[in-house]
């Protein structure tokens, strides 16, 4: 494998890992606050459709991104009302959100664009532009530094950089701020937080709302940066992969980044080497497409060890009188 191929694979890894990283951090923050969020897939899906549709109509990708965040937050609010206010089963509420998003995106897309449940292809300002970092062209031919800086670090959409910046920000918020301390306490012992006069409901809504913003960014990048429009079920299980990565990371932001980079790398390799032969027998393209999902599950299942979630996650809090 030559240096150009390695650079291409790593470059693809960063792009493919971006929506997963947003979703993984969303689930991590929500669960740290005590709300189990299996609805990541649905929130990403509604955000992807909204971003593509609004970006196409407005011819402005950032209006689409803003609309995607709002759409995701609406579903997060629905999830919060069902799970926090009415103390419903959080697993069932998340599954319901996934079904709702899967159905409503196709119905609205068909009624709006009549293209079989997808949006028109995005072009021009409706598509997320790739940013060139300073001096990327000047150092392109420099050994080692050139391929790394100009071929890997430079040339991504803005949300790629935002996603990886969110990792240290999430770590700092959770482990170095008063808000993060309270959110982690709500996920472990909400009764103690309530006794201290702090609103358990309010903190859980904050966790769910932050998750909604991050899922909105994940779906928006998926439809306007990684792809050029929305197609039916385009999230392709990424919400569930993000949940698996979160468990593998044991609810820690830096480890979560490593887990999603693993999946991104496997998907990049599968996309790059679709037409290969083993012992003279061609490997079906479908097998290569399924490879990252299979290997990710195997690796996560084999190396996750004992992952202990926040003690109060998934448990509705009932205030004692």
pLDDT tens for the chain, 321 residues long, are: 578 888 899 999 999 999 999 999 999 999 999 999 999 999 999 999 999 999 999 999 999 999 999 999 999 999 999 999 999 899 999 999 999 999 999 999 999 998 888 999 999 999 999 999 888 888 888 887 888 888 899 999 999 999 999 999 999 999 999 999 999 999 999 999 998 889 999 999 999 999 999 999 999 999 999 999 999 999 988 999 999 889 888 899 999 999 899 889 988 888 877 666 555 566 676 777 777 777 767 766 666 667 788 888 888 888 765
CA distances (Å), 307 to each of 78, 172, 187, 249, in order? 29, 22, 15, 8
Does some domain include residue 132? Answer: yes
Q: Tell me 37's DSSP state.
A: -
Separation of CA 134 from chain center: 28
Identify the CA nearest to 94 among candidates 136, 179, 37, 29. Answer: 37
DSSP, res 124: G
* Strand positions, DSSP E, the chain: 130-131, 156-157, 277-278, 281-282
pLDDT score, position 108: 94
Say how many C-beta atoms besides its own lie within 10 A of residue 301's C-beta. Answer: 11
Identify how many contiguous H helices and E strands the chain contains and give both numbers. Answer: 12, 4
Domain extent, residue 68, equals 3-236
User: Is residue 188 assigned to a domain?
Assistant: yes
Report in angstroms the alpha-carbon separations of 37 from 96, 213, 224. Answer: 11, 14, 24
Indicate whether 267 belongs to any domain.
Answer: no
| Contact in structure between 284 and 24 (CB atoms under 8 Å) | no
The backbone torsions φ and ψ at residue 152, rounded to the nearest 5 degrees and listed phi first, read -110, -50
Note the pLDDT of residue 214. Answer: 98
Going by DSSP bridges, is the β-strand pair 277-278/281-282 parallel, antiparallel, or unpaired? antiparallel
Q: Look up residue 172 and give its two tokens.
A: 């700092």
186 located within any domain: yes
256 in a domain, yes or no? no
Can you read off the two tokens belonging to residue 21? Answer: 């990283």
Number of independent structural domains in the chain: 1
- Token representation of residue 123: 């072009």
Report yes or no on 271 lying in a domain. no
Under 8 Å between Cβ of 75 and 42: yes
**Cβ proximity of 51 and 220 under 8 Å:** yes
Residue 52 in tokens: 């593509």
- Domain-embedded: residue 107: yes
**φ and ψ at 130, to 5 degrees?**
-90, 135
- Quote the pLDDT of residue 286: 72
N- to C-terminal Cα separation, the chain = 67
Helix %, strand %, coil % of the chain (to 5): 70, 0, 30
The DSSP output letter for 138 is T
Report yes or no on 113 lying in a domain.
Answer: yes
């Amino acid at each position: 494998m030559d240096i150009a191929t390695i650079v291409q694979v790593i470059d693809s890894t960063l792009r493919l890992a971006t929506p997963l990283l947003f979703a993984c951090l969303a689930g991590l923050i929500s669960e740290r606050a005590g709300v189990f969020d299996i609805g990541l897939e649905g929130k990403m899906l509604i955000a992807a459709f909204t971003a593509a549709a609004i970006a196409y109509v407005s011819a402005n990708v950032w209006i689409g991104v803003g609309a995607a965040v709002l759409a995701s937050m609406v579903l997060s609010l629905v999830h919060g009302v069902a799970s926090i206010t009415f103390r419903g089963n959080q697993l069932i509420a998340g599954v319901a959100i996934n079904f709702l998003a899967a159905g409503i995106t196709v119905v609205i897309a068909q009624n709006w664009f009549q293209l079989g449940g997808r949006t028109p292809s995005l072009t021009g300002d409706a598509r997320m532009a790739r940013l060139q970092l300073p001096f990327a062209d000047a150092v392109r031919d420099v050994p080692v530094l050139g391929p790394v800086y100009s071929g890997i670090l430079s040339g991504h959409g803005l949300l790629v950089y935002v996603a990886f910046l969110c990792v240290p920000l999430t770590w700092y918020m959770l482990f170095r701020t008063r808000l993060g301390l309270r959110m982690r306490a709500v996920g472990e012992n909400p009764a103690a937080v309530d006794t201290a006069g702090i609103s358990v409901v309010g903190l859980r809504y904050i966790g769910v709302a932050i998750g909604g913003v991050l899922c909105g960014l994940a779906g928006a990048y998926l439809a306007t940066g990684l792809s050029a429009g929305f197609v039916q079920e385009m999230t392709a299980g990424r919400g569930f992969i993000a949940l698996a990565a979160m468990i593998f990371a044991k609810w820690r932001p830096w480890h979560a980044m490593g887990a999603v980079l693993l999946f991104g790398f496997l998907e990049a390799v599968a996309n790059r080497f679709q037409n290969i032969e083993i012992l003279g027998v061609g490997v079906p393209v479908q097998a290569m497409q399924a490879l990252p999902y299979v290997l990710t599950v195997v690796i996560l299942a084999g190396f996750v060890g004992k992952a202990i979630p926040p003690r109060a996650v998934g448990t509705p809090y009932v205030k004692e009188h």
